[in-house]
Amino acid sequence: MAAKKIIVSTYTDGILDPGGPMLGPVRSGGFIEANTMPGCWGPMITPELRGGHEVTQPVAVEGAEPGDAVVMRIRDIKVTSIAAASGVDRTIDDYFNGDPFVAKKCPHCGAMRPETKVEGIGQEAVRCANCGTTLKPFQFDHGYTAVFDPAGKISMTVDRKAAERIAKDARHYAKLSENCRQHPILLFAPHDMPGVISRMRPFMGQLGTTPAIPMPDSHNAGDFGVFLVGAPHEYALTAEQLEHRTDGHMDINTVRKGAIVVAPVKVPGAGIYMGDMHALQGNGEIAGHTIDVAGIITLQVNVIKERALDGPVLFPVAEDLPYLACPLRAAEKNRAKSLAKKWGIRRLEETLPISVVGTGADLNKATDCGLQRAAKLLGMSVSEVRNRATITGAIEIGRLPGVVRVSILAPVGNLRSAGLLALAREQYGRV
């Protein structure tokens, strides 16, 4: 019998595997509550993990089959970390085979993805358990340690003394689960820009469904995924096989409390997974990384039968929409009616917002992907979507090098045909 609620506190080894075990199933309309672990830097310095993140074990949804879609309403997101560290990375040659996220190795003993131990703090702390060599596929080019106020509203970077104090009890300050395997990046104690204040607004960097082929979690997107094409390790894919991805790795800062995410189903049960919670991030994740934290997320999930999607669709909270994609107010509609009467226009469109995610090797390819997906979903030509995105929406960067969201005001008839009108009305009201 499907459960009304599934609580998740177990994690993958970095690989999203459609043949692997899933939790659940949870019923359609039920809830998933997950304790998620930090993405990026912690897994990046943990060679045992086979992807760039440490996401949750996937959850099956009752009745979800390939060709369906799953709706994920984000009911709550809460940061549990007390502190976190991040910054701009640089890779070190000889410490990986083709991809530093996927295939780390010890250059001294040659072990692939060796078990590791921690000795002290700083960027030499993680060592090969076999031979004692420092393992450093990634190092900070410029980094920082940040702490959070108890209300979860403000982040502040600290100096060397505070960063090293935190590093000595890094797992505690990161609030890592006993079930996770990553080393806390707080061990490195970066402190290059103390005293910087930032507003917190947590969101999920990873929230999606299991791809139809085994894939490193960080590479379940069209930009990171291209590094798998022809790669020299066992997770190499062809360009055609990369189309089995579900683009769960979005790093779009509007995937936060109150948003609705609609994701494709490509395996039986869908396999909803999540991770890589960010405490905050501006558009683009320009540094390549942001402040990744542990936290708790609560989702409510539903299945939409026979609604095949090529990638995620978003219904952000209204305040996160681009200006031109915001629902028209009554006063604006009245002005339009007056203008229509003057010019003899008998019918005005009724519209509601929608955002479609596009990914690709770079921002141009990601934009083309998003436009094509939106056109297919809404029964329009790409040229029409381009026009609508220009005058009733925007194209915004989710992540460099290649994640965007295409937002438009879409006619309600097209939303109805796409099977998404009810969600648009739920999020933005009736027109």
119, 47: one domain? no
* Dihedrals phi, psi of 285, to nearest 5 degrees: 45, 60
CATH number at residue 267: 2.60.120.580
Structure token pair of residue 378: 């809404």
| Cα–Cα distance measured from residue 176 to residue 116, given in angstroms and rounded to the nearest whole number | 17
10, 138: one domain? no
Query: Between vectors from CA 36 to CA 60 and to CA 53, what angle results, nearest 5°?
Result: 90
pLDDT exceeds cutoff 90 at 430: no
22, 63: one domain? yes
117, 194: one domain? yes
Q: What is the tens place of the pLDDT at every residue in 359-407? A: 999 999 999 999 999 999 999 999 999 999 999 999 999 999 999 999 9
Q: What is the tens place of the pLDDT at every residue in 170-215? A: 999 999 999 999 999 999 999 999 999 999 999 999 999 999 999 9
Number of domains in the chain: 3
| Cα–Cα distance measured from residue 322 to residue 394, given in angstroms and rounded to the nearest whole number | 6
Q: Which structural domain, as residue segments, surrounds residue 208?
A: 3-81+200-221+261-307
**Angle formed by the axes of helices 363-378 and 382-391, to 10°?**
110
User: In this predicted structure, what is the pLDDT of residue 431?
Assistant: 75
What integer best gives the mean pLDDT of the chain?
97
Q: What is the tens place of the pLDDT at every residue in 305-318? A: 999 999 999 999 99
Structure token pair of residue 379: 């029964």
Instruction: For residue 283, tell me if it sits in a domain.
Output: yes
Q: How many CA atoms lie within 13 Å of 245's alpha carbon, on the beta-carbon side? A: 30
332, 300: one domain? no
103, 76: one domain? no
348, 410: one domain? yes
Q: Name the residue with tokens 């939409």.
A: 304
Q: What is the tens place of the pLDDT at every residue in 112-157? A: 999 999 999 999 999 999 999 999 999 999 999 999 999 999 999 9
280, 147: one domain? no
Q: What is the tens place of the pLDDT at every residue in 259-297? A: 999 999 999 999 999 999 999 999 999 999 999 999 999
Confidence of residue 321 (pLDDT cuts 50, 70, 90): very high
Query: Between vectors from CA 125 to CA 152 and to CA 291, what angle results, nearest 5°?
Result: 25
204, 299: one domain? yes
Instruction: For residue 35, tell me if it sits in a domain.
Output: yes
| Cα–Cα distance measured from residue 268 to residue 273, given in angstroms and rounded to the nearest whole number | 14
User: In this predicted structure, what is the pLDDT of residue 106?
Assistant: 98
Q: Which of 307, 341, 374 is the C-terminal boundary of a domain? A: 307
Structure token pair of residue 217: 């979690």
